[in-house]
Structure 1
Amino acid sequence: MQLISAKPSPYVRKVKVTLIETGLIDEVEMVEVSTTPVATDPAVAAANPVGKIPALIRDEGPTLYDSRVICRYLDARAGTKLYPEGRIWETLTLEATADGILDAALAMVCERRVRPEEMVYEPWIEAQWEKVARSVGAINARWMSHLRGPLDAGQIAVGCALGYLDFRLGDRGWRKGNDALDDWFAAFSERDSMKATAPE
């Protein structure tokens, strides 16, 4: 299998963490690309018509995308139960919340990186941050018991989302008022899979 990826991508990090946690990391060749929302790498476009990473090219079937589909596939392949039936809806909702944080954070980053300076729209950036702040607060208020439970895909997604906030939007201070989540993230970041995939 081949994973179309880029090291700074938090969605790629989710898949890499899952590969390590499922023991499948040695079965996948990493194909690193450089791509942006306005300049899609040809390898990305060939793997995923939407033009987004990651994409998992398989020998035995169609290419898979996006990160949630890939992570679910890897878990099923390895039989590791990162999507446990007993709490499947909670796990999926937590994963969706974390991905929503990433969607909003990436929109903020792209607004400054991709648009010409004179076209940057500050109210848009602040609206995206409100989504991030609400979601982080909701996880801190409602999801700590889940996060402290057995490892699942929701935890991996939250860990990667918070890592991306530190990487690209550290000055925004997501930790303020979210002490329980901050403590959890500090401990979760010590996992070998998180250390091995930390953004540079």
Structure 2
Amino acid sequence: MQLIFSPASPYARKVHACLVETGQKPDVEFISVKTAPSAVAAEARAANPTGRIPALVRSEGPAIYDSRVITRYLDARAKAGLYPESRLWEVLTLEATADGILDSALSVVYETRFRPPEHQSEDWITAQWDKVAHAVKAVNDRWMSHLAGPVDMGQIALGCALGYLDFRLDSRGWRKGNDALDDWFAVFSERECMRETAPHD
């Protein structure tokens, strides 16, 4: 298998972390690409018609894409139990919350990194960060008992989302008022799948 990815992409990090957690990293060749909203890498376009990463190229079938599709595939392939049937909807909801945090965080990053200053919208940035802040607070207030359970893909996705906030938007201070989640993240960040996949440009 080949993983089309970027080491700075939080969605690619989710897949990379899943590979580490399930012991499948040796089965994958990593193809690192540089991509941006207005400059799609040829390898990404060949694997995914939208040009987005990550994409997983398989020998037994067509390439698959969207991080949640890939992680479900890898979990099934390894029979790893990262999507346990007994709490599947909670895991999927937590993963969707983490991806929602990433969607809005990336909107902020794209607005400030890829648009000229005269075309940037402070109202848009504020609205997107407000979504991030509300989602982080909801996890802190409602999900800590779930985060204390056996590791699953929801936890890995959340770890990658919070790691991205530290990586690109640290000055916005997601930890303020979210002490329980901050404590959890400090411990979870030491997990091998998190240490080995730390983002970088």
TM-score tier, shorter chain, comes to: over 0.9
Query: What residue is the counterpart of 2:90 in the other structure?
Result: 90
SS of 2:65 mapped into structure 1 = coil
- 1:23 correspondence with 2:23: yes
Provide the C-alpha distance between the structure 2 equivalents of 1:3 and 1:142, rounded to a whole number of angstroms.
Answer: 34
Instruction: Quote the residue 2:181 is aligned against.
Output: 181
Q: CA RMSD in A?
A: 0.5
Distance 2:151 2:82 in 1: 7
Distance 2:138 2:172 in 1: 17
Alpha-carbon distance between aligned partners in 1 of 2:97 and 2:171, rounded to the nearest angstrom: 21
The residue type equivalent to 2:128 in the other structure is Q
> Aligned partners of 1:198, 1:42: CA distance in 2, in Å?
25
Q: Determine the structure 2 residue equivalent to 1:144.
A: 144
**Per-residue deviation, residues 42-94 of structure 1 (Å, max 9, x unmatched):** 11111111111000000001111100000000000000000000000000000
Aligned to 2:166: 166
Q: State the 1:34 CA deviation.
A: 0.3
SS of alignment partner, residue 30 of structure 1: strand
SS at match of 1:52: coil
TM-superposition CA deviations, 1:140-195 (whole Å, max 9, x none): 01100001100000000000000000000000000011000000000000001111
TM-score (norm 1): 0.99
- The 5-angstrom pairing of residues 64-83 of structure 1 reads 64-83=64-83
1:13 matched residue in structure 2: 13
CA distance in 1, matches of 2:159, 2:30: 21
- How many residues end up aligned between the 2 structures? 200
| TM-score using structure 2 length | 0.99
Partners of 2:156 and 2:192 in 1: how far apart?
12
Cα distance in structure 2, aligned partners of 1:7 and 1:188: 19
Q: Which residue of 2 aligns with 1:105?
A: 105
Identity over the aligned pairs, expressed in percent? 66
Task: Give CA-to-partner distance per residue, 1:13-56, whole Å, 9 cap, x none.
Answer: 10010000111000000000000011111111111111110000
**2:115 is matched with which residue?**
115
Structure 1 unaligned regions, length at least 5? none
